[in-house]
């Protein structure tokens, strides 16, 4: 087994920057302030050219290692990140001080799918699972992209284009979070502390010039829908979205995503819809021609 070790603390170092820069994928999560907004304490299993980062905490005497919601496709990083054997070596060395492990991570290209059933490993239960995530190839023209829209998406788009919507590009993340709390929070299971953490993360990306808020309004300044788009490397990522009840009825999100796609087409290579476990969201994203590119989830339960 490759020699790896568990390190805790900040990643403000030349070595960490090298790992992040040399990873085969590029997400906005390699920014320290972004990650610190979502998880206060960080550590990583590290080798010569490999690091598997995760946040950790202790609650009621139980240690937990996890990846916060909002950065679920990040690790591992480094030139060895795209190797399943390296990943398994790191997983086996996650410290026993963590009674619960729940990490989500990018899937190496040589990954072999596994049974998603729980299995006993020593004195612990563990399992691997794959979570859906839809991505769209945006390297070509918008016109070619439009040809990949399904019939329902085209019908919804044509219906929305008859409305008197106004696109606004200068809202703040607070507007999105307020709308989400008002119209959607009851529909989804939201982790504790999610809203303030995501607020800090979005403002960090705005400050770095790596994010933008796009929102849609109807007459009378009625909020219909809004999205936060993060830009990193070769991809644009739909990091957060909100929609009002009226906006849902008026197909406002279809209209807004279409406006975003017209802007990003040809500027980046991938439009990442960032997680789609809800069946309705998966259908919505696939309607734009997006394809499922799953990420991984590893869970472990056990005593020290």
CATH number of the domain within which 173 lies: 3.40.630.30
Judge if 50 and 94 occupy the same domain: yes
Judge if 76 and 148 occupy the same domain: no
Distance between start and end Cα atoms, the chain: 22
Question: What are 174's two structure tokens?
Answer: 């607070």
66 vs 2, residue with greater confidence: 66
Is 279 among the domain residues?
A: no
- The whole-angstrom separation of Cα 101 and Cα 52 is 13
pLDDT of residue 10: 64
In DSSP notation, 255-294 reads HHHHHHHHHHBTTBSEEE-----SHHHHHHHHTTT-EE--
- The whole-angstrom separation of Cα 75 and Cα 11 is 14
pLDDT of residue 11: 63
Judge if 234 and 163 occupy the same domain: yes
Residue 104, pLDDT > 90, answer yes
- The whole-angstrom separation of Cα 85 and Cα 175 is 44
Judge if 251 and 142 occupy the same domain: yes
295 vs 279, residue with greater confidence: 295
How far CA 252 is from CA of 139, 188, 284, in Å, comes to: 25, 20, 12
- The band of 108, judged by pLDDT with boundaries at 50, 70 and 90, is very high
Judge if 14 and 103 occupy the same domain: yes
Which residues constitute the domain of residue 85? 5-131+295-302
Q: Please give the average per-residue pLDDT across 158-185, as a whole number.
A: 93
Judge if 149 and 247 occupy the same domain: yes
Is 224 among the domain residues?
A: yes
pLDDT of residue 224: 98
Proportion of the chain above pLDDT 70, given as a percent: 97
Proportion of the chain above pLDDT 90, given as a percent: 69
The total number of structural domains that make up the chain: 2
Is 10 among the domain residues?
A: yes
Judge if 146 and 225 occupy the same domain: yes
Is 287 among the domain residues?
A: no
How far CA 169 is from CA of 34, 172, 183, 212, 249, in Å, comes to: 22, 9, 21, 7, 22
- The band of 155, judged by pLDDT with boundaries at 50, 70 and 90, is very high
Judge if 153 and 263 occupy the same domain: yes
pLDDT of residue 254: 98
- Interstrand relation of 119-121 and 100-105 (parallel, antiparallel or unpaired): unpaired
Task: Point out the least confidently predicted range of 28-32, 99-103, 134-138, 213-217.
Answer: 28-32
pLDDT of residue 21: 83
Cα 105 → chain centroid: 10
Judge if 23 and 147 occupy the same domain: no
Q: For helices 151-160 and 252-264, what crossing angle results, to 10°?
A: 100
Question: What are 259's two structure tokens?
Answer: 């406006």
For the chain, the average pLDDT equals 91
pLDDT in tens, 226-251: 999 999 888 999 999 999 999 999 99
Is 189 among the domain residues?
A: yes
SS3 228: strand
pTM, to two decimals: 0.90
pLDDT in tens, 7-25: 887 666 777 778 888 888 8
Judge if 242 and 173 occupy the same domain: yes
- The whole-angstrom separation of Cα 91 and Cα 162 is 52
Residue pair 152/287 in contact by the 8 Å Cβ criterion: yes
Judge if 15 and 53 occupy the same domain: yes
């Amino acid at each position: 087994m490759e020699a790896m070790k568990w390190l805790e603390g900040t990643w403000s170092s030349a070595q960490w920057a090298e790992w992040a820069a040399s990873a085969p994928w590029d997400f906005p999560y390699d920014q320290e302030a972004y990650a610190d907004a979502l998880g206060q304490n960080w550590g990583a299993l590290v080798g010569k050219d490999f690091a598997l980062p995760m946040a950790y905490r202790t609650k009621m005497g139980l240690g937990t290692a996890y990846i916060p919601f909002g950065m679920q496709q990040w690790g591992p990083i480094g030139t060895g990140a795209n190797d399943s054997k390296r990943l398994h070596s790191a997983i086996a060395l996650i410290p026993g001080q963590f009674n619960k492990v729940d990490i989500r991570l990018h899937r190496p290209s040589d990954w072999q799918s596994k049974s998603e059933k729980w299995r006993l490993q020593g004195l612990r239960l563990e399992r691997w699972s794959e979570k859906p995530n839809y991505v769209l190839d945006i390297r070509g023209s918008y016109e070619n992209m439009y040809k990949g829209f399904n019939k329902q998406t085209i019908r919804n788009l044509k219906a929305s284009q008859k409305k008197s919507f106004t696109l606004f590009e200068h809202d703040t993340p607070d507007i999105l979070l307020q709308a989400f709390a008002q119209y959607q929070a009851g529909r989804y299971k939201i982790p504790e502390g999610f809203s303030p953490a995501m607020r800090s993360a979005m403002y960090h990306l705005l400050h770095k010039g790596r994010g933008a808020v796009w929102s849609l309004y109807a007459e009378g300044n009625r909020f219909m829908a809004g999205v936060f788009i993060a830009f990193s490397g070769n991809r644009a990522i739909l990091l957060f979205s909100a929609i009002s009840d009226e906006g849902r009825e008026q197909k406002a999100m279809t209209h807004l995503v279409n406006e975003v796609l017209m802007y990003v087409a040809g500027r980046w290579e991938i439009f990442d819809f960032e997680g789609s476990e809800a069946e309705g969201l998966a259908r919505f994203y696939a309607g734009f021609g997006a394809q499922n590119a799953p990420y991984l989830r590893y869970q472990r339960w056990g005593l020290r």
